[in-house]
Structure 1
Amino acid sequence: MQRYILKRIIIAALTIFLVVSAVFFMFRMGNADPVAIMLPPNATPKDAKILTEKFGLDKPLAVQYVNFLKNAFHGDFGISFRYSEPALSVLLHKVPATLELGLAAFFLSVTIGLCVGILSAVRPGAWIDRFGRVFALAGMSLPTFWVGIILILFFGVTLRWLPISGRGTPLHFIMPAFCLSLYPIALITRLTRSSMIDALKSDYVLMARIKGVPERYVILVHAFKNASISLVTVIFGVLGYLVLGSVVVETIFSWPGIGRLVIVSFFARDYPVVQVFVLFVTSVIVSLNLIVDVVYAYIDPRIRYT
């Protein structure tokens, strides 16, 4: 087991290294000059030279890369071109807003997805089952940005029930959290329904019913307990999706989190902020996948030898 975990950790570390390195070279090999973007219109060539030297952009690409890796190992990801602050500090300042939105969306995703999925499986053909299947199909098909625009136009502009941007009151959470959680709700609903239907047809559930076990106990303990094993990967995957999905949702609703920050930094060619964002997101997703692999290895020992 220890060898399996060590192998997964090495693969995870290598994945993070390759992704961050790819982003580093992708930005450095582009045609846009970040110094030109930062300088005012009346700047002189001397001003450009000073800024270029300040951020180390005058050095060869290989030297920049080695310095980046060396500094990143010590937690130094450079100074933001746009904010003139450490890139890591700029990102961490925005994390609470994204964390709040992500937790709200995750709560909605798991709660609604599991409830609708279980009810759909328990009552096949009923209205809740038909609703769940239609909702799952729509939620997995509609683009997030389109859903966000429709929500803003209907609830924000037409009805004026909800604020269309910003963060500050509980009402500001409703549209962004629902928009971000729509796809995960649909995914969890669909997989919960199929897993529960298979579990309810199993022999151990039939035996429990023959023994006179209460139906609620049969559903929540015997059936759901076994169906939940296949949902572990999905629920952990939802966390990764929420981090990536925040880029679109936060931009649409002007939510002051890391998603909106990276879009602004990308167009401003703020390399340090984009790089630390990629490192953060990659680390989160890879760590979640690592946890899933370890949990599955404990659940099913056969995985350790594949």
Structure 2
Amino acid sequence: MDGILLLYKEKGPTSFKAIEQVKKQFKINKIGHTGTLDPMAEGLLVVLLGSATKIADYVDDTKEYEMQIQFGAATDTDDAMGKEINTLPVPADLADKINAKIADFTGKIMQIPPAYSAIKKDGKKLYELARAGKEVKPEPRAVDIFSIEVLEVIDTTARLRVACSSGTYMRSLARDLAEAVNTCGHLSYLKRTRIGKFSSDNALTLSAIEDLQKHIISINDTLYNVKEAQISAPEQLMLKNGIALKNRFGFKPGEVIKAVFDGKVLAMCTVEGSVLKINRGIEI
């Protein structure tokens, strides 16, 4: 069983636990996903099944979220699951201040991840160090926030829609935006609504899935963002034997290509000179 499943993760379980439930219920040998959701978050989880576990690096992983920020209270985890560590007054003109600062958080920015995150330092995850009482100072990372839309500001809360690159932390955005408007704050709600072209509107909760096969999206359709080389029967035999293909397709040097035969993505290739060099076999 190869392809992806659009799973709606409900609040509570970790992403790992959510896909492990899929694995157990449908007896899947290999399983993965394209991006973690925190336990308090809900929404779209793209689950990789079988040979699709090999394409995680090639999937369009731009993401969209709906988030809510609670201003006036900071937590150690930067979300509602953490311990309150600070409170500050919230500006009366909160909506105006937010709108004035949004531009500072769009485009390519440097973002400091939360101390409680799965990023590793010296072989250990930061949240493990933080829970052990050790001082954690995450290094700033470059992220790309494509757009921020203010949906609603009521009293001391704000709802936003954010489109961003993979690796962007909504908890950090909540914390930093609160600081930018001269108060403190944390992420109080998060829903992932989109990964690439796939929407949470088309995702199913685990309890709603009866016939898994009916809901699987093929690897080829998942890699809609990658250029395609429709190869011949002799060429597919060459790929199976690890032989690079001639670039008879006119692709440019450096381009990443999916080699497709009979609807299946046999391999991911890179154009090097006059050939398509195999990066990774997929459905060979």
TM range (shorter): under 0.3
Bigger radius of gyration, 1 or 2? Answer: 1
The structure with the largest strand share of the pair is 2
**Higher RCO (CA-CA < 8 Å; seq separation 6+):** 1
The structure with the largest helix share of the pair is 1
**TM-score, normalised to structure 1's length?**
0.20
**TM-score, normalised to structure 2's length?**
0.21
